[in-house]
A and B are shown apart, each in its own frame.
Chain A
């Protein structure tokens, strides 16, 4: 095991040029994807560190590990880092960047320099966020609610708002690149109906990036103006309406949830057919439901504000509209299930993550319906029920999909296999750890434990101890892949061009790909997911 496998010396995007400059000035979408992989992983562990401190504080009912003020900063920065610097860029900027051009048979994204620019914007914004953290942090909650954020908080609101404002442009430029690339750069014969569903979901995500992010940008800019120049747009003492802030904020930040989940759905739509050896069931429905989620996702934002003082009439409208989102989401779950039906299923690591995704996302989605119901929401609003719900969607859904995708395309990105047995172990650990962490929080929330408090009545301790124990298991589950994937870079088995016997143009070129992806621009004459025409891999690759 300890001897490095034979090096594959064919020229590829990793060994075409050398030196730090060739990476920092690269315009190759695959290298930019790896730059994102490293920086996003860094922020994942920063955000995870805050989560760890939160769970440690909540181990005991008394507020004994940190002060209340510190606790406020911990959950704020956990949220901001995880949402804006990990979840939102995770799949689109890493896997999307790497795969969108390859899946459509293009040499690169339409605007390679803008792609690099968006990484630098991300790094700059991330640096500003780190500066905000080390100079004292911010305590407004990730939502920046006014007037607390504009008039009362004495923490680094300006830096945090500016960092997230700037980071938004990174998202916008990525979305712009994807939309233009998908429209203009498809290989001959690759019609819209032949596109991989990963592409459809990234197209849908780009719509949200492009039409939602600017609204968040202007909202945070107004918060910035209000603190720095004393403009009073959200200031109640001048007649300003804090609910206006919430409307603007959630107009982006609710669709942002779909920014996180849609790419994962795209990943699952690739993994499930491959490991069931079947064409995806209801291709058109899965594709259109991505667009449906992107559009309907913009109609539901005020369900975050049911108890904030919006009119009852508006609350009714938004409650009904919120139910609508369940329809396209359910279509996807049913179609994945139908794809697996009578398929020849193999439970490799990516498939384990995909199955985990389907189960956890279903729980997350269904509890979302509880919260969309006006009456139930009044009872569980701002309790741990909400926390558990959105962690089932964002972590159980989005992160599971991200991990699955990372394992699925790791051989393509690096040319190496990760050790399968460790992969399975980590997947199971994450699944168990996740459920142990967050299922107790549903119960806590239903019993009435409010979110964002650093201490709680002693009768809640049992569930909190379970949750913290689960978080520790989860942490191990996330560290394992980090270790064995780095290990695999040197010692992993050579993957070959298509270790999974997968459909899709990205598997028809070498691993790792050459800089221009394909020797000759491919011409597509087949339908997507033609698994009836592709032989299954002879042996399941084991590292």
Chain B
């Protein structure tokens, strides 16, 4: 098995980053950014999720194309569900 062994140092670095951003996201929620509070919260969440996927779940190191395809497909389909549904909810004449 020529499996890539990732140095533990990287895991600890990712862990520290995740902790810091958890604190940041909680703190930023109390700062008035107008409509951008939600945007910032979601960007931080996506950043954290991406770190977990790439490093903890080894997607950065895998040579397997299918893993990425599966992830992209699932996100694409989730987008279909949300966006096409909003095509209705966002354009209703009455609330």
B93 contacts A298, CB within 8 Å?
no
Residues on A with C-beta less than 8 A from B81 are 215, 251
Name which residue of chain B comes closest to A251, CB basis: B81
How far is A302 from B73 in the complex, measured between Cα atoms in Å? 21
Q: CA–CA, A314 to B81, complex, Å?
A: 13
Point out the residues of chain A lying under 8 angstroms from B73, CB to CB.
207, 211
Q: Is the CB of B77 within 8 A of A310?
A: no
Are A298 and B77 neighbours in the complex by a CB distance under 8 Å?
A: yes
- Total A residues in contact with B, Cβ cutoff 8 Å: 20
Is A183 engaged at the interface, CB distance under 8 Å to the other chain? yes
B88 beta carbon closer than 8 Å to chain A: yes
With a cutoff of 8 Å between Cβ atoms, the chain B residues found around residue A299 in the complex are 80, 84
Structural contact, B91 and A314, CB atoms closer than 8 A: yes
- The closest CB in chain B to the CB of A247 belongs to B85
The interface residues of chain B lying within 8 Å CB-to-CB of A376 are none
Closest B residue by C-beta to A305: B88
Please state if A314 and B80 are interface contacts (CB–CB under 8 Å). Answer: no
- Shortest B75–chain A CB gap in Å is 11
Flag whether B9 is at the interface (Cβ < 8 A). Answer: no
* Contact among B74, B77, B84, B93 for A311, CB-based, below 8 A: B93
CA distance A301 to B85 in the complex (A): 10
Residue of B nearest to A321 (CB): B84
Chain B 25-61 interface 0/1 with A at a Cβ cutoff of 8 Å (1 = within): 0000000000000000000000000000000000000
A466 contacts chain B at the CB level, 8 A cutoff: no
B64 CB, nearest partner CB in chain A, Å: 10
A311 touches B92 (CB 8 A): yes
Query: In the complex, how many angstroms separate the beta carbon of B82 from the nearest chain A beta carbon?
Result: 10
How many residues on chain B are close to A (CB under 8 Å)? Answer: 14
Do B80 and A313 touch across chains, with their CB atoms under 8 A apart? no
On chain B, the residues within 8 Å of A207 by CB distance are: 73
| Cβ-defined partner of B88 (8 Å) among A211, A215, A247, A298 | A247
At the interface, yes or no: A345 with Cβ under 8 Å from chain B? no
Interface centre among A207, A211, A302 (most CB of B within 10 A): A211
Whole-angstrom CA separation of A301 from B80 in the bound complex = 11
Query: How far does the alpha carbon of A215 sit from the alpha carbon of B85 in the complex, in Å?
Result: 13
- In the assembled complex, the Cα of A313 lies from the Cα of B74 at a distance in Å of 27
Q: In whole angstroms, how far apart are the Cα atoms of A251 and B77 in the complex?
A: 10
Q: Is the CB of B74 within 8 A of A310?
A: no
**Least Cβ–Cβ distance between B72 and chain A, in angstroms:** 12
> Is A243 part of the contact surface with B, judged by Cβ < 8 Å?
yes
Contacts of B77 in A (CB 8 A): 211, 298
A176 to chain B, nearest CB (A): 11
- Residues of chain B within 8 A (CB-CB) of A183 are 66
Give CA–CA (A317, B86) in the complex, Å. 12
B87 interface residue per 8 A CB criterion: yes
Q: How far is the CA of A317 from the CA of B89 in the complex (A)?
A: 13
Give A180-204 as 1s and 0s: 1 = Cβ < 8 Å from B's Cβ atoms.
0001000000000000000000000
A310 to B90, CA, bound (A): 10
Kindly list chain B residues whose C-beta atoms are within 8 Å of the C-beta of A312. 91, 93
Taking A211-B77, A318-B84 as given, write out 17 further A-B residue pairs in contact, using a Cβ cutoff of 8 Å, ordered by the A residue number.
A207-B73, A211-B74, A215-B81, A241-B89, A247-B85, A247-B88, A302-B84, A302-B88, A310-B92, A311-B87, A311-B91, A311-B92, A311-B93, A313-B91, A314-B87, A317-B84, A317-B87
Q: List 20 A–B pairs whose Cβ atoms lie within 8 Å, in order of A's numbering.
A: A183-B66, A211-B73, A211-B74, A211-B77, A241-B89, A243-B88, A247-B85, A251-B81, A298-B77, A298-B80, A299-B84, A302-B88, A311-B91, A313-B91, A314-B87, A314-B88, A314-B91, A317-B84, A317-B87, A318-B87
List 7 tightest A-B contacts by C-beta distance, closest first: A314-B88, A311-B91, A313-B91, A310-B88, A211-B77, A314-B87, A311-B92
